[in-house]
A and B are shown apart, each in its own frame.
Chain A
């Protein structure tokens, strides 16, 4: 009996508030722990390492912040990137992420816990995803009376791949903290709208300010909240609650956001922010936008590409060349959200049923985010929270209806319903309810199966698709053990240890942040991509003949050139495969000197083998990729495993560069730029002369020619 009574406490609704509260806290802590744990796959599989590209910059900036203090971070002019221009880094980044981990680091150091800043950075994203789950619980509880909706939403948010993709341990990017801030700001906003309280409005503004300092995606909040208010106004739901919360948020939030140097006066200049101002005016006096168009900067290019997916391809190759700016493929929705994606419409529909202010918010958010997620892969991230809310609403309402064991009592309701005989036939029946245990069991069972499948899917996706650092590549040995291909770090560490501290490295911009972070050497261009012309210059140097490239290299003080070549291993993300983007970007600036057409054969094919065009063969990138490659193979059998073609049988001749380092699997090749020739010849002649000398020697061995006398 003791057992059943203790079970009753959990199952029956009559249990005390404190028991339920405790249970809820335990569940939430478990969810948070599961959220953190599932993101640690990458640390277990590989190591505690910063992933990919942008995180390396954030990591480097954080180290700078920790070493030099906040004020010098704020004023940081970085002369080790974008050589010779430099970058006003302190004024062109979102400092929220670095400051957050800096604060955590200093707190831990104050408690004399000897933690490495790298580990703080690596584990920041999992830690914040635990908080996101909690924020999700709070947000969903505002939408539904059933607490199970909140808990389900927290659990979904904790493990959904759409969010994990950006928050595994080591993916130290702005999104790591931004999604938490996004969800929490929305929670505070809903709270503010519900209560009409200045305090909640001010808190919303505070977290909005934090969000602005952390991620460029804050524009989403900037537009969504005004839209929510605008829709409420249109629905005739203007109230003092809405007025108080919106004006508080807008005034404080805008002031707060302007404190970030990178944002500055954008909130009153940029059209991305105009809806907020417009709604502010509207809510004050019914003012519509009357500001002159001249003051307002045109919409930024990345924003255009949101509305017109073809915009980027035509106008801005550098945006289009980034894979995460591509439109989303349909399977990606299912891959990232699994069964939540088909519960999502159901949840949104249920919001229509009791259409309070907060449900309007969910509907608007759902519509907007669905559109954006379809346009750009990375915006799947903003869709994920609302999908979790909607799906949790749907699942919880199913479970709440089907998990109740007691049958409805027909007699008690018969009279009240039968009086209203003019309504629909279905409602004329005495009572709507589920009577049979069978249907309850079937529905609950199938939902349970879906939930279990969801967990299995999330775990699988996380461990297989999203946990690779991409700095380190893993493959399997024949015996099943893991084999790690570590060429990137091999080459970067070689640069770090064996080149002068200020040797300038030229590479395509993808590797700029990594070279800055791992090799600690100045670079010409990096993933910040703020100067298109500079990137085009690098593109031109890579895609031109040596005679054209060498002056460019000399003018930019380049000491080493780094290329990524996957031909030996079959690593498809190499520079030859990205080469057309370099050509296109260079062509954008020098249409007369670099022509994309010249890199295609007469039949319009992109070839690198024997049929490659002369322009292709003479380009620096082609030469650097295949230099000396054939000597690894028996004569005439050199194969490029990425493109599945024959590699050139003779090594391309490099006159102005010399091979300095090639990593074990040839993924990274580093070339040293030769100094000017000692005898003032051009390099072409110098190399030819050296070769000629050798030929002379060879002929000497034959001995002097003797005149035949017979």
Chain B
């Protein structure tokens, strides 16, 4: 069918216009002996580390002062190269004016002379000498928590360790700094106590919050390390998706937005010392005891979601349950994997559902342009959090859509996503359901995300004309006509041997 319609439709097909804002992440190349110029001073730094989830969420509030004679606008934030690749959702804002949105951030390539890689924060306007600015830096670090002991019994408590430096890893001199740790519970059996860094007990303990510092670090050179390790109870799974593929398919004819997500899950919790025992598991799940295994995933869906399914490579997972909910509360998909996922175990699956398109799509009056607003990421909502090593979001637009642009909605607070220049975007064409040209597909790829990005919204604008909409009915009509004409023609051929 493709052959004979291609010529006809070639005339009708508009060219896929290149007027898009698609980016490929670029990395700043630095000279091999690069060191950030000492043009700033951190007068006060407070680091808040949240360990309540299966990943580390850090918020650093720092007062930065320009100590140079020239106005400066590039602030460098270093990370060790091995940690750097696991830093996700990096965002910097002016703490005094969070509503103004995030600062532009660039990423550097690895520098051979140092172990560091940098985020380069560009201030919107250069900071004058002697003046100060308060930065709010937030990010999460994935897969940095390791269970200790690495193997436990099936009903044992699980403990995670978190290691960091008492002196924050900064490119600039810091005057005072402190670190606040928030643990999931007060059960912290092991933690480093520092000596000689400050007067009085260090850390200060208050319930589940431990505070290291404040330290006077005027004389400490930037980059000095003082290792600290804490070990705390976390009898929850450490849910990690090594890959999430999320497809959103827009159908104008059907008035439908179809979503399908494919997960490759892994539990990074402690592994089992012995093999799995069903007897113990039966008794412990009867008592609803806390466990480091994934027992169930709750997956909130938007109101009006229908036809939800939960399948894996070998068919429907019959243990799942879908609660449609009301128009206000939204639906809930309770995903119960076929088996409990213990530390080191894998589970890959697919979920999908349909939504009415009208709630997501607006047409600009008088023009052919459309605006689509969909969640960038949905995913299960778990108290212990979910980390995504790689997320690929595909938005399949109708056939013939062109002038595709996208934008991620920014709010007053962090949306859990990195800056736009860290998201790899591309356009491609995807052929399905008797397409001739293929559907325009916007693909967005992000590394290292956490479930904080659940509420991020993606806005896609595109143009789609009436001719585009009529292409498929005409194609099918032309195809069937050709078949009938062909049959009629063959039927009229006289191939008999004898003369009539």
Contacts and interface: CB of A to CB of B under 8 A. Distances in A.
Nearest to B338: A490
Contact of B346 (A111, A486, A498, A628): A498
B19 interface: no
B431 to A, nearest CB: 5
Interface in A45-73: 47-49
B346 A112 contact: no
Q: Which range contains the number of A residues in contact with the other chain? A: 20 to 34
B486 to A, nearest CB: 16
A493 B312 contact: yes
A606 interface: no
Contacts of B339: 490, 493-494, 661, 663-664
Interface stretch (B66-74, B271-279, B366-374): B271-279
A484 B275 contact: no
Nearest to B264: A497
B2 A632 contact: no
B14 to A, nearest CB: 20
Interface stretch (B212-220, B295-303, B313-321, B461-469): B313-321
B432 A112 contact: yes
A660 interface: yes
Interface centre among A47, A494, A497, A628 (most CB of B within 10 A): A497
Contacts of A156: none
Contacts of A48: 315
B410 to A, nearest CB: 35
A547 B183 CA distance: 52
B347 interface: yes
B348 interface: yes
A607 interface: no
B338 A112 contact: no
A186 interface: no
A496 B314 CA distance: 10
Given A49-B315, A489-B338, A632-B282, A660 B432 contact: no
A493 B314 contact: yes
Given A484-B318, A486-B318, A489-B314, A659 B275 contact: yes
Given A486-B318, A492-B314, A666-B278, A114 B432 contact: yes
Interface in A642-680: 658-664, 666, 672
Contacts of B317: 486
B211 to A, nearest CB: 41
A660 B279 contact: no
A484 B432 CA distance: 34
Nearest to A486: B318
Contact of B315 (A112, A489, A664, A666): A489
A664 B339 CA distance: 8
A703 to B, nearest CB: 28
A472 interface: yes
Contacts of B434: 111-113
Contact of B279 (A49, A497, A631, A663): A631
Say what secondary structure dominates the interface of chain B: loop
B338 A493 contact: yes
Nearest to A671: B275
Contacts of B346: 497-498
Contacts of A660: 275-276
A518 B1 CA distance: 36
B433 A113 contact: yes
Contacts of A489: 314-315, 338
Contacts of B191: none
Contact of B347 (A472, A497, A518): A497
Contacts, number: 74
B123 interface: no
Nearest to A665: B278
B319 A486 contact: yes
Contacts of B334: none
Contact of B338 (A114, A494, A658): A494
A647 B431 CA distance: 59
B345 interface: yes
Interface in B197-246: none
B348 A497 contact: yes
A489 B339 CA distance: 10
B347 A111 contact: no
A489 B349 CA distance: 13
A47 B338 contact: no
B435 interface: yes
B393 to A, nearest CB: 19
B313 A496 contact: yes
B277 A47 contact: no
Contacts of A112: 2, 431-435
Contacts of A498: 345-346
B5 to A, nearest CB: 12
A311 B431 CA distance: 58
Contacts of B313: 493, 496
A672 B274 CA distance: 11
B245 to A, nearest CB: 15
B318 A472 contact: yes
Nearest to B348: A497
Interface centre among A49, A111, A494, A666 (most CB of B within 10 A): A494
A518 B313 CA distance: 8
B324 to A, nearest CB: 16
Contacts of A492: 314
24 contacts: A49-B316, A110-B2, A111-B1, A112-B2, A112-B433, A484-B318, A486-B317, A486-B318, A490-B338, A496-B314, A497-B345, A497-B346, A497-B347, A497-B348, A518-B314, A631-B279, A632-B279, A658-B275, A659-B276, A659-B277, A659-B278, A660-B276, A661-B276, A663-B339
Given A112-B435, A662-B278, 7 more contacts: A48-B315, A112-B431, A486-B338, A489-B315, A494-B338, A658-B274, A662-B276
